[in-house]
Amino acid sequence: MNTVKKTSISEIIPLSTWIRLGLVWVVVVIFSLFGHDLLGAQMGGWTAVAVFLLLLATIVGAAFGVVREADELAHKLGEPYGTLILTLSIVSIEVILIAAVMLGPTENPTIGKDSIFSVMMIIMNLVMGLCLLLGGMKYGEQEYNAQGAMAYHSMIIMLGGISMMLPNFISGAGDGSFSTTQAIILSGLVALLYAAFLYFQMTKYRHHYIQPPVGQMEIRFADTIINAELEASESSQATNSTKSEILIRSIVLLGMILPIVLLSHHMAVVVDYGIQAAQLPTLLGGVLIAIIVFTPESMTAVKAALNNEFQRAINLCHGAFVSTVGLTVPAVLIVGLIAGKTVHFGLTGTETILFVLTLLLSLMSCMGRRTSPIIGLMHLTLFIVFIMLIFNP
């Protein structure tokens, strides 16, 4: 007779993780209660430095906790569920923050476009460049599933093109904005297309997003092999994991992600203070905050590349941008219509060139079935060009 061994919470989540989670939330509570006083108009240079270091240490500590739980869930659930949990958690909270800013008293018509474009340059050039370069330096050529990569790129071209390039070439409401009718129809289409993509990714075409067998790039019936391995993996996972463990780890994961996003607002105040004091470009603050918010996902992607799991790196990086566009565009357009806010999604001329270059380079990166470190250097170069243009447009 088989008996099922019950696992306690302490056996699933070690004490060190609970201590880390508790300390992180203590900092969140402190800044929720006293953040206005600490970061008020009287904030001085030394106070800003101390607050910055405390926030940075807290966010980095939470980021390591996120990476650990995301890795555990990825092994328990398999791909692409493991990466989807991490991606959707971060992007959903980011969308909520953007909506909160839009509903505020000040006008910020380009916040949706600026957020999407910053995420694209960071995730698809900086992070993917590091994955290609570091993974290639360690393993040489890394394998991935070309069908899944092409599906991501098709979504990026479609969603990014109609949301950020199309507004500059239509009458719309003028100045890179959609009319009310266009906003309603396009937000619905983007949401439906993204929902359909997630459905196929998690069901019938799930094998397109799983790491292919190492050294078997040219196997004719690769899909059949992957499906067989998937069924065996699911059977093993059903035996070795429990729903309660997955639920607990998901709660801890969300508990680590929320502080990163909540504290990023306070970090933005400190960064803006430093940028003004040093007379640096204001756009740099948004880029730094975007990097901080996506730190857990970025760390997980680089770690996956270093573990020779390049398909997981693709799922994280490209999946993050697809989710960012698929969730941000409908949310921003709907909030803009409800609140009567002006929304500008049209890219500037410089942003359009960088957008197209990133799309083309990313497409060239994934046209084969093996990676090349030199393309990683190209992605990093494009990100450096992006940063240079912030300082010297």
Per residue in 105-143, pLDDT (tens digit) is: 667 788 888 888 988 999 999 999 999 999 999 888 888
Q: Give the integer Cα–Cα distance in Å for 68 and 249.
A: 10
Whether the full predicted model's pTM is greater than 0.85, yes or no, is no
Which pLDDT belongs to residue 354?
95
Concatenated DSSP letters of 45-113: HHHHHHHHHHHHHHHHHHHHHHHHHHHHHHHHH-TTHHHHHHHHHHHHHHHHHHHHHHTSSS--TTHHH
Could you report the per-residue pLDDT of 301-325, keeping only the tens digit for each?
Answer: 999 999 998 988 998 889 888 988 8
- Helices 310-339 and 295-306 pack at an angle, to 10 degrees, of 160
Q: What is the mean pLDDT of residues 281-295?
A: 77
Helix 128-139, helix 349-365: angle, nearest 10: 30
Tokens 């912030």 found at: 390
How does the average pLDDT of the chain come out, rounded? 81
Mind listing the pLDDT tens digit for each residue in 174-231? 777 899 999 999 999 999 999 999 999 888 888 888 877 755 444 444 454 445 445 4
Q: Would you state the pLDDT for residue 105?
A: 66
pLDDT computed for residue 232 by the predictor: 46
Task: Map tokens 């502080």 to a residue.
Answer: 259
Which structure tokens are listed for 279?
């007379």
The first and second tokens of residue 292, run together, are 């901080």
Q: Among 18-22, 87-91, 124-128, 363-367, where is mean pLDDT lowest?
A: 87-91
pLDDT for 7 beyond 60: no
pLDDT at 106: 67
- Spell out the domain ranges in the chain: 9-391
DSSP-derived letter for residue 110 is T
Rounded Cα distance between 236 and 76, Å, is 10
Whole-number Å distance between alpha carbons of 75 and 77? 6
pLDDT score for 11? 67
Q: How confident is the model at residue 162 (pLDDT cuts 50, 70, 90)?
A: very high
Here the tokens at position 81 are 């569920």
Q: Which residue has the higher pLDDT, 104 or 317?
A: 317
Q: What is the pLDDT of residue 239?
A: 46
Confidence (pLDDT) at 235: 46
From the candidate CATH numbers 1.10.1060.10, 2.60.300.12, 1.20.1420.30, 1.20.120.80, the one assigned to the domain spanning 9-391: 1.20.1420.30
Q: What is the mean pLDDT of residues 164-169?
A: 90
- 222 burial class (0-12, 13-18, 19+ CB within 10 angstroms)? middle
